[in-house]
Amino acid sequence: MSNLSSKISVIIITHNEESNIEECLKSINWIDEIIIVDSQSTDKTVSLAQNYTKNIFIKEWLGYSAAKNFALQQCKYDWVLWLDADERITPELAEEIKEIINIQNNNYSGYEVARRAYFLGKWIKHCGWYPGYVTRLFKKENVKFDDSAVHEKIIINGEISRLKNDLLHFTDDNLYHYLHKFNRYTSLAVEDLTRSRKIFSIYDIIVRPTFLFFKMYFIRKGFLDGMHGFILSLLSASYVFVKYAKLAERKK
């Protein structure tokens, strides 16, 4: 087993993440290499990150997928961990990852992890959010990110296994942050719909949002998350409504 195969790189893309980046980087101070691609932050993101890594690449906004594919190209180790700035690795998850990358002749190309998401300060256990498995640990040679404008996915060549410990995700600690992201993400989602030649229908703004709220709040028991579950279900339905309303606007 080469030395490269028993070490690990992490990739993070950032833009104005001064409230998140330091706690994220503290949780991965055991990582061998940290790669950050920053899209010209105007806050203290870069200066804070410089306390943890010299591998910071400041680029014009490339798009989520392109930025992550660029970050992958900078990694020198075989194993890569993908993190967002608002995510944290627990000590238990860190130990599990260390054990995995030291397994000789590991036949898995990647590992998915349950993401414990906190919305408006509360862990959302229902609404279809938990465990919400995402693939975040993988062998660099077997991976690339697809070309989606938003909610990009990893394309992995090979088998995927599952980690036992959770990844922490501190998303949207206030509604201002959520709604700011909401507008940007719905516009990017329209780019994907347009590229796929999606044809708008009235079904998209009446049935889709209504069904999503029903599924999240009732079928996936969002009501057990209290007011947070109701707000999240309603906002998620609104996201779908606005996404397709923007598609209709663009078609005109």
Query: Residue 148: CA atoms inside 13 Å, Cβ hemisphere, count?
Result: 13
Percent of the chain, pLDDT > 90? 93
**pLDDT for residue 124:** 98
Q: What is the mean pLDDT of residues 130-151?
A: 94
Beta strands in 76-172 (DSSP E): 79-82, 87-89, 110-113, 115-119, 122-123, 134-139, 143-145, 154-156, 160-162, 167-171
**pLDDT for residue 144:** 94
Reduced to 3 states (helix: H, G, I; strand: E, B; else coil), residue 252 is coil
Domains and CATH numbers, the chain: 3-111+133-161 (3.90.550.10), 175-251 (no CATH)
Q: What is the mean pLDDT of residues 132-155?
A: 94
> Quick one: tokens of 164?
């036992």
Contact present, 124 and 229 (Cβ < 8 Å): yes
Helix locations, 64-150, DSSP H: 64-74, 91-101
Give the Cβ contact number of residue 30 at 10 Å. Answer: 12
pLDDT digits (tens, 9 = 90+) for 203-240: 999 999 999 999 999 999 999 999 999 999 999 999 99
pLDDT, mean over the chain: 96
**pLDDT for residue 176:** 96
pTM of the model: 0.94
Say if residue 1's pLDDT is above 50. Answer: no
Say if residue 2's pLDDT is above 50. Answer: no
Q: What is the mean pLDDT of residues 168-176?
A: 96
Q: Rounded to the nearest 5°, which phi and psi values hold at 33?
A: -150, 130
pLDDT bin (cut points 50, 70, 90) of residue 5 is low
pLDDT bin (cut points 50, 70, 90) of residue 3 is low
Concatenated DSSP letters of 191-228: HHHHHTTPPP-HHHHHHHHHHHHHIIIIIT-GGGGHHH
3 DSSP 8-state letter: G
> Quick one: tokens of 179?
């709604």
Give residue 222's identity as a one-letter amino acid code: G
**pLDDT for residue 121:** 97
Reduced to 3 states (helix: H, G, I; strand: E, B; else coil), residue 85 is coil
Give residue 178's identity as a one-letter amino acid code: Y
Angle of the 175-195 helix axis to the 226-251 helix axis, nearest 10? 40
Pairing of β 134-139 and β 110-113: antiparallel
